[in-house]
Amino acid sequence: MNADVNTNLTIQSPSENILELQNLKVYFALKKFGFQHAGYVHAVDGVDLNLKSGQTIAIVGESGSGKTSLMRTVLHLNIPTEGTVTFDGQIVNNLKSEQLKSYRHRVGYVQQDPYGAMPPFMNVQTILEEPLKINGIKDKEERYRRVTQVLEEVKMTPAEEFMPKFPHQLSGGQQQRVVIARAMILEPVLLVADEPVSMLDASVRVEILKLLRGLQQKHNLAVIYITHDLATVRYFSEYIYVMYAGQIVEKARESDLINKTAHPYTHALLAATSDPDPKNVDEFQDVPPGEPPSLVNPPSGCRFHPRCPRRIAGLCEVKTPPEFNLGNDHLVACWLFKE
Amino acid sequence: MKNIKNILREIARYPSAIFGAAIIFLLIALAIFAVTKIPYEEAIRLWRAGEETVYRNPKNVPPQWFNFFTKKDLPISFAVVAGEDEEFSKVVTQGETGSTIEYQYSFDFQYDDYPQELFLYIQADYQIKNPFISVVLETPDGEQIKVTDFGTAKKQTYRFSQDDKLITRLRRIHGRDIQVMQGLFSVPKSEPLQINKGVYTLKILASTFEKDSDVRIEFVSHGLVFGLFGTDHLRRDLTTAILWGAPIALFFGLVAAAGTSILSMLIAAIGAWFGGWLDELIQRITEVNLVLPFLSILIMVGTFYSRSIWVILGVTIVLSIFTGAIKTDRAIFLQVKESTYIEAAQAYGASNPRIIVKYLVPRIIPLLIPGLVSAVPSYVFLEASLALLGLGDPTLPTWGKVINDAYANGALYRGQFYWILEPAILLMITGLGFAMFGFALDRIFNPKLRGM
Amino acid sequence: MADEKVIRIEDLKLYFTTTRGTVQAVDGVNFDLKPNKAVVVVGESGCGKTSLAKAVLRLLPRNVSEYSGKVWLRDIETMELSDEEYRKKIRWLRMSMVPQAAMNSLNPVLRVGDQVAEPMLVHYGVNKVDAMEQAAKMFQNVGVPVDFLSRYPFELSGGMRQRVAIAMALVTGPDLVILDEPTSALDVLTQANIFNLLKRIKSELETSFILITHDISTSSELADIVAVMYAGQIVEVSESHRFFSNPRHPYSAKLMASVPRLRHNAEPDFIIGSPPSLINPPSGCRFAERCPRRFEKCANEPPKYRFGEDWVKCWLYEGEGEPE
C-alpha cells in the first residue's frame, strides 16, 4: 500500500467491515423535455449490505433489479439519494477530489464487456499505465515495473510480448485479464466485478473465475461479484444477496441459498438455471409469468407479488415484508416466513 | 507507428487515393518551389508591376508553348544585353579621347507574325560629352535599313514604332503607309504583305568622347508569346501568380480546414461531455450561426474593414466553427461517452479534461481526418471566390486574383483564354486531388463505406 | 431416403477473403436432421457457427471466395437453385432464421405487427388483412399480447422483442428454423420462458430447429441431437442423452467439464490455449494442440467414425465405429 495515499482517509471507528451500506437509496429523476420531471426511477430502494475484509459476496439479480446502480454507487459513480455508504469506517457518500482519489485508489472495477472496457486506440501498456499516471506515479521505470508485475499476476507472460498489443489483437479471455490487471494495479482492498465472465466463452469463464479467486486469496481482497448466473456464484462467493426491483429479497450463505432456498423469486431463479442434463428437453421449466416491474412505479407491498405463485392475498400486495431471520445469517423478505 | 504503416498500406490499395495523393504531393512540391525560387518579398515586388520589373514583358500575351497549338508560329519575346548575352556582341575599340563600340546581334526570324514592339534600353556612362549612337537593321536579303541615330542621354529608351523618321523611311521602302514592325520584317513592296523570313542582324555603332565613357544597350522584343504562363494586362509575368497561387491556396485551405475541424471537435467534445446548460448554449449558438449568411458577412468585412488575407482567414474560421460539424461530432461523442471504458476511466479517477482529450477525442480522429482533407477544396475555392468578387487581398498573387483580373479585363471576350484557364485548371486540380484523397481516406477509416 | 430427413447438409464450405487472408469459416460441414427434432450446434466464438447459419440460408456477404456443398431440404437440393429461385422458394418460406441479437434486428421505424406480417405478403401474396391475421396468430403462439401488433420495437422489452423475432421466423410455417444465440443477451427467467416456447412450438407446429449457441447448459433444454463445431468443422454428432452423459470427442468432454453446475459439486475445468485461426487452420486434427489425449496419428486429418446415427471425427475411435 502506498503510504502517501492513506493520509487523507482517517479511520474514525475501527470496524471489521470494509464496506457497509445502510438503507441505501438511489433514485434518478426522470426529466421530460429537460424541464419538468415526471417521477423517479427507484433504482436502489433501501439496501443493507455488509462486506468484511477479504470476504467475497455475490449480488444476484436480473436486468432491472438495480444491481448496476448499486454497484455504481459503491464505485462513487452515483451519489446516494439517501442512506450511507461506509468504507473502512468512514462515510463516503459525498467525497470531494483528494479524498475521492484515495477512495478510488482502493476500489478496483472489473467490467462486463472486456473489449468495451478498454480504449481501442491504446495498447496494453498505455491502458495499464493510465491509472498510475492519474494517481501521480511519475517515474517511468516505476510504472513499467508495476505494469510488468501486474501482467504476471494475471498470467499474461511474457509481459513484454503483450504490452505493445492493442485490444483487438487479444482474445476475449486475454482482454478480460488486462481489465482485471488494470483493476488490480492500484493495489485495491475492494474489487467490484460486474458480470466479469458473462461475455466470455464457456471454456474461458472458469479460467477467469479461478484467476479472480486466486487473486482474491493472495491479496485478501474483498470482492463484490455481480451476476445473474447462479451457477458461477457457487465457485466464487461465500455469501449471496438476491436483488429484485431495487431491493434485497434474500441473503444467505452460499450453501443455504442453494439447499435451503427461501424466497419464491430465488426458487424461480434456481429453477430457471439449467445444468446440462438431457432430461431437460422433455420438461417445461417453471417460470413465473410476466416481467420485472418498472422501477418508476413499482408494485405496492412486496414487489414480487404480481408474479409470485405463492402470494398471500390481502397481505403481500399491501404491506412490504420485513426481513425474517432464518438463522445462520440467512435472511429473507417474504411474508411466507412470518413466524 | 505500426498503425501509420498499416494506414499507408491501406491507402496504397485505392487507385483514387494514390492519384489524389500524387496531386497533393505535386502541389506541395510546387508550393515549395515557388517559395524558394521566388521569395515572398520578391513575389510581392514582381506582382506590384513596377516599370523596372515588367519592362521586358509584352502586354496580354499567351505563354510560349502556345505555339504548339497554333498553325501560325508566333514570335517569342526576348531581351538581350550587349556584352552580357553572348549572341549580342560588344566590341570596344579604345582610343585616346573616347572609344568606338560595335554592337551586333543576329536573330533568325522564322515566325508567321510580327512582334508587338521592339525597344532599345540605353544606359550611357559619361561626364559631359554624351555618346552618339547609330542603329542599322540588316534584313535577310542584305538590305541595310537605317533605323536611327542620335546622341544618347544617361538613360534613354528608344521605341522603334514611335520613331517618325523610321516610319517615313519604311514608307519609302515599301511604297505605302506601313507600321514599323511590319515594315521592318516584310518583303519590300509585297502585296499582300509577306513576312521576310531569315536571319536579321541588328548593328549598332556607338561613339564615345570620353575616356571612361561606356554605353550599355539592352535590346528587347515584345513578341506575341511570352514565358511559361503568358502575361496579363499589367504586363506581369503570370508565372509569379501561378507559382505563388499554390502555397497561398494550400495555406489558406489547410489552415482553415484544420483550424475549423479541430476547434469544432473540441467544442463539441466539451459540450457533449459536460452536458447541461453548456451543451445547450453551444447548440443554440451553432443553430444561430448556421442561419447567418456566410458569404455576405465576409463581403461586408472585406468591404468595410480589411481585405488582408489574415483577416479573411480569421473570420472564415470563426464563422465555420459553429456549424454542422459540431452537431455530427457531438452526436458521436454522446455515443462514445456511454462507452464502458469511459466509465472505467472515471472509476480509476481520470479528470474531466483528461477524459475529453485522451479518451474521447481519439475516437473521432478517424472521422476527422478524411473530413479535414475533403474540406480543403471548399476553403481553397472560397479564397478564390472572394478574390473573384474583388475582395481578395490585392497585393497577393493568387489564382483567384488572376481570374478576377482576367474577368475584369474581358479576357474571354478578347479570346485570351490562357489567362482564365491556367488558374482555373489549377484550382480544379487542387480540388480534385484533395477530394479524391479525402474520399479514399474516408473509405479506409470508415470501413463500412468500403463496399462502395 | 432423402424424404426422411428434413435437412441434409453435405460438405458445406464457406470461405471469405479478408485483408489478412482467406477465412475458412465453414470447412466441410456434414449433418442431417429428422423432422420435428432440434439439433444444437455447440461451439465457442470463432468456430464459424454464425457463418454456418448464413451458409445454410445463403445469406452471403460480399467477399465470398468459396461456397460449395449440398444442402437438401427434404427433396430439393437448394444449392442448385439460382439466387432468385432460392429467394422465392426457400428463404423465409421453408427455412428461416432468428439471427443473433434478433431483438436489435427489428426495424425501429416499423410496427412489429407489420414486420411479422411482411413475409406473408411477400411469399404468399395474401392481402394485408389476412397477413395481419396470421401475424396475430403467431403473436399468440409466442406469447406476445395481440394488442402489441401496433407497437414499435422500442416499446417492448428485450424478451418481448426476441419473441417477436421468433414469430417473424415462424409466420410462414417453415420446415426449419435456424436460431443463432437466441437468448444470450437475455436474463435467466426470460431465457427459460423462451425455451419453454421453443419446446412447445417444436411439438405443436412440427417445426425443426437448428439452434446455434455456445451455452451448453441451455442447449440441453432443446437438443435432441448435439453437433459440436470446432475451427470450422463438425467434430461430433451425438444423440443428446449420450452427449450429456458421456460425450465422445475430447473437446466435447472438455466443454462439458468446463460448465459450472448448480446442482453438482464438481470443480469445473478449463481448456488451455485458444481455438486456431480460421485463416490458416492447422493440418491434421485441429484440436490436437489442446487435446489432452493426442497421439501421433493426430497429425493427420481424422476420418469420421459412425456409431449408428452418431459419429465422431477423432482417431481415438479407430477400430470402434464404422469409418467413412
Convert the pLDDT of each residue in C210-227 to its tens digit: 999 888 888 888 889 999
- A204–C270: do the CB atoms touch at under 8 Å? yes
pLDDT band at B424 (very low <50, low <70, confident <90, very high): very high
Fill in the amino acid letter for B92: V
Which pLDDT tens digit goes with each residue over B254-277?
999 999 999 999 999 999 999 889
Integer Cα distance of C97 and C49 in angstroms:
13
- Express each pLDDT in A98-115 by its tens digit: 788 888 888 999 998 888
Pair (B199, B298) in one structural domain? no
In a domain, A17, yes or no: yes
Residues B398 and B268 in one domain: yes
> What is the pLDDT at residue A137?
85
Q: What is the pLDDT of residues A286-325, one digit of tens each?
A: 888 877 888 888 888 888 888 888 888 888 888 888 889 9
- Helix B324-337 and helix B361-388: axis angle, to 10°? 180
Judge whether residue A11 has pLDDT over 50. no
Q: What is the pLDDT of residue C268?
A: 79
Map residue B126 onto helix, strand or coil: coil
* pLDDT tens digits for range B275-289: 889 999 999 999 999
In sequence order, the β-bridge partners of residue A91 are: A86
Confidence band for A35, pLDDT divided at 50, 70 and 90: low
Residue A14 pLDDT exceeds 60:
no
- pLDDT higher than 80, residue A15: no
Task: Return the number of CB contacts < 8 Å for A and C.
Answer: 121
Residue A30 Cα distances to A297, A333, B337, angstroms: 12, 28, 20
Assess if residue A43 is contained within a domain: yes
- Given a cut of 70, whether residue C39 has pLDDT beyond it is yes
Distance of CA A106 to the CA centre of its chain: 15
| Residue range C157-167: mean pLDDT, rounded | 86
Q: CB neighbours (10 Å) of residue A94?
A: 11
HSE-CB for C9 with a 13 A CA cutoff: 24
pLDDT for B429 equals 93
In-domain check, residue A268: no
Q: Are C208 and C33 a contacting pair, CB within 8 Å?
A: yes
pLDDT for C182 beyond 90: no
Chain B residues in contact with A121 by the CB 8 A cut-off are 362-363
Kindly state the cell numbers that stand for C159.
424478451
Mean residue pLDDT of chain B comes to 87
DSSP 3-state assignment of C8? strand
Q: How many domains does chain B have?
A: 2
CATH number for position A181: 3.40.50.300
pLDDT of residue C173: 86
β-pair type (B99-109, B198-208): antiparallel
Separation of alpha carbons B452 and B299, rounded Å: 39
Domain definitions of chain C by residue range: 2-81+178-187+207-323
Q: Are C188 and A285 an interchain contact pair (Cβ–Cβ within 8 Å)? A: no
Cβ-defined contacts of B414-422 (< 8 Å, 24+)? B414/B60, B416/B60, B416/B62, B418/B62, B418/B63, B418/B66, B418/B229, B418/B230, B419/B60, B419/B230, B419/B232, B419/B238, B422/B63, B422/B229, B422/B230, B422/B238, B422/B242
Mutate to test the interface with A, among B340, B343, B348, B445 (most CBs of A within 10 A): B348
Task: State whether residue C259 sits within 8 Å of chain A by CB.
Answer: yes
Are both B211 and B346 inside the same structural domain? no
pLDDT at C3: 52
pTM of the full predicted structure?
0.80
Confidence of residue B78 (pLDDT cuts 50, 70, 90): confident
- The pLDDT, as a whole number, for residue A148 is 93
Q: Domain for residue A164, yes or no?
A: yes
Per-residue pLDDT tens over the stretch B172-230: 888 888 888 888 888 888 878 888 889 999 999 988 888 888 888 999 999 888 888 88
Residue B419: strand, helix, or coil: helix
pLDDT digits (tens, 9 = 90+) for C279-307: 888 888 888 888 888 888 888 888 888 88
Return all residues near B411 (Cβ < 8 A) that are at least 6 apart: B417, B419, B420
The verdict on residue B53 lying in a domain is no
Please state, for a pLDDT cut of 70, what percent of chain B lies above it.
98
Q: Report residue C156 as a C-alpha cell.
A: 417492448
pLDDT class for A10, splitting at 50, 70, 90? Answer: very low
Q: Would strands A222-227 and A56-60 be described as parallel, antiparallel, or unpaired?
A: parallel
Q: Is residue B257 domain-shared with residue B195, that is, in the same domain?
A: no
- Measured on CA atoms in the order C223, C225, C230, C231, is the torsion positive or negative? negative
Q: Per the CB < 8 Å rule, is A134 touching B363? A: no
pLDDT of residue A99: 81
| Lookup: cell for B406 | 482576367
Q: Could A276 and C217 be called an inter-chain contact, meaning their C-beta atoms sit closer than 8 Å?
A: yes
For B153-180, letters b (16+ CB in 10 Å) and e give eeebebebbebeebbebbeebbeeebeb
Contact assignment for B344 to A109 by CB distance below 8 Å: yes
Whether residue A109 and residue B348 make contact (CB cut-off 8 A), yes or no, is yes
pLDDT-derived band at C84, boundaries 50, 70, 90: confident
Residue C38's H or E segment, with its range, is strand C38-42
Are residues B37 and B99 located together in one domain of the fold? Answer: no
Rounded CA separation B56/B48 (Å): 15
As a whole number of Å, the end-to-end CA separation of chain A is 48
Instruction: ipTM value, please give it.
Output: 0.82
Q: Does A36 reach chain C within 8 Å, measured CB to CB?
A: no
* Residues in Cβ contact with C35 at an 8 Å cutoff, skipping those fewer than 6 apart: C5, C6, C175, C206, C208
pLDDT class of A8 with cuts at 50, 70, 90 = very low
Residue B265 lies in a domain: yes
Tens digits of residue pLDDT in B432-452:
999 999 988 888 777 665 543
Average pLDDT over residues A331-338: 88
Chain C: residue nearest A291 by CA?
A: C190
Place of cell 499567351: B62
Q: Do C45 and A275 touch (CB under 8 A)?
A: no
Q: Give the C-alpha separation, C160 to C166, whole Å.
A: 10
Whether B90 maps to a domain, the answer reads yes
Band (A285; pLDDT cuts 50, 70, 90): confident
pLDDT digits (tens, 9 = 90+) for C99-112: 887 777 888 889 98
Whether C268 sits inside 8 A of A201 (CB atoms) is no
B71, exposed or middle or buried, with CB in 10 Å at 0-12, 13-18, 19+? exposed
Specify burial of residue C246 (Cβ count, 10 A radius: 0-12, 13-18, 19+): exposed
- Residue B252 amino acid letter: F
Tens digits of residue pLDDT in A117-159 = 999 889 999 999 999 998 888 889 999 999 999 999 999 888 8
* Angstroms from A269 CA to nearest CA on chain C: 7
Residue the block writes with cell 451458409: C55
Q: Each residue of A236-250: pLDDT tens digit?
A: 888 999 999 999 999
What was the pLDDT predicted at A239? Answer: 92
Q: What is the pLDDT of residue B257?
A: 92
Contacts of A125 (CB under 8 A, 6+ apart): A144, A147, A163, A164
| Shortest CA gap A99–chain B (Å) | 11
Decide the pairing of beta strands A331-332 and B132-138: unpaired
Indicate whether B169 belongs to any domain: yes
Q: How far apart are CA C164 and CA C111, in angstroms?
A: 11
Tell me the H-state helices in chain C: 49-57, 83-89, 112-123, 128-142, 158-170, 188-204, 216-219, 240-245, 250-257
B243 in the same domain as B208: no
Residues B275 and B218 in one domain: no
Q: Is residue A263 situated within a structural domain?
A: no
> Does B81 share its domain with B218?
yes
Q: Are C67 and C60 in contact (CB under 8 A)?
A: yes
Q: How is residue B205 written as a grid cell?
A: 555603332
pLDDT of residue B448: 62
Res B425: pLDDT: 94
Q: Cβ of A54 under 8 Å from any chain C Cβ?
A: no
The rounded mean pLDDT for chain A is 85
Q: Are residues B104 and B244 in the same domain?
A: no
For C226, name the nearest residue in chain A, comparing CA atoms only: A278
- Of all residues in chain C, the percent with pLDDT exceeding 70 is 99
- Are residues B291 and B419 part of one domain? yes
Decide yes or no: CATH 3.90.25.10 for domain C2-81+178-187+207-323: no
User: CA B401 to CA B252: how far, in whole Å?
Assistant: 14
Partner C contacted by A168 (CB < 8 A): no
Residues 6+ apart with CB under 8 A from B268: B282, B325, B326, B327, B329, B330, B333
- Per-residue model confidence as pLDDT tens digits over C111-158: 988 999 888 888 888 888 988 998 998 888 888 888 888 889 888 887
- Looking at B189, B222, B255, the residue that finishes a domain is B222
Residue A191 lies in a domain: yes
Does B305 reside within a domain? Answer: yes
Q: Distance between CA C312 and CA C318 in Å, rounded?
A: 10
Domain assignment of residue A290, yes or no: no
Q: Which residues of B413-440 are buried (b: 16+ CB within 10 A; e: fewer)?
A: eeebebbbebbbebbeebbebbbbbbbb
Residues B38 and B82 occupy one common structural domain: no
Kindly list the distances between the CA atom of residue B172 and the CA atoms of A243, B141, B176, C85, in Å, as whole numbers in the listed order.
120, 17, 7, 96
Query: Which whole-number Å values give the CA distances from C132 to A14, B368, C118, in the listed order?
Result: 68, 47, 9
Asked if the Cβ–Cβ distance from C259 to A228 is below 8 Å, we say no
Instruction: Say which residue the cell 439496501 belongs to.
Output: A47
Residues of A in contact with B347 (CB under 8 A): 75, 77, 104, 107, 109
Q: Residue B59 falls within a domain, yes or no?
A: no
Chains in touch with A (≥3 Cβ pairs < 8 A): B, C
- How many domains is chain A partitioned into structurally? 1
Calculate how close chain A gets to C279, using CA atoms only, in Å: 15
pLDDT over 90 percentage in chain B: 27
Owning domain of residue B370: 2-45+236-451
Rounded (5°) CA angle C204-C77-C234: 75
Is the pLDDT at A232 greater than 50? The verdict is yes
Domain residues for the domain of A73 are 3-254
Neighbour tally for C292: CB within 10 Å: 9
pLDDT band per the 50, 70, 90 thresholds, residue A33: low
Q: Do C259 and A276 touch (CB under 8 A)?
A: yes
- Exposure string of A163-180, with b = 16+ CB inside 10 Å and e = fewer, is beebbeebbbbbbbbbbb
User: Which of A121, A150, A169 is the mutation pick for testing B, counting most B CBs within 10 A?
Assistant: A121
Q: Which residues pair with C83 in a beta bridge?
A: none
CA distance linking residue C288 with residue C294, whole number of Å: 6
The string of pLDDT tens digits covering residues B343-401 is 899 888 888 899 999 998 988 888 888 889 989 999 999 888 888 888 878 888 899 99
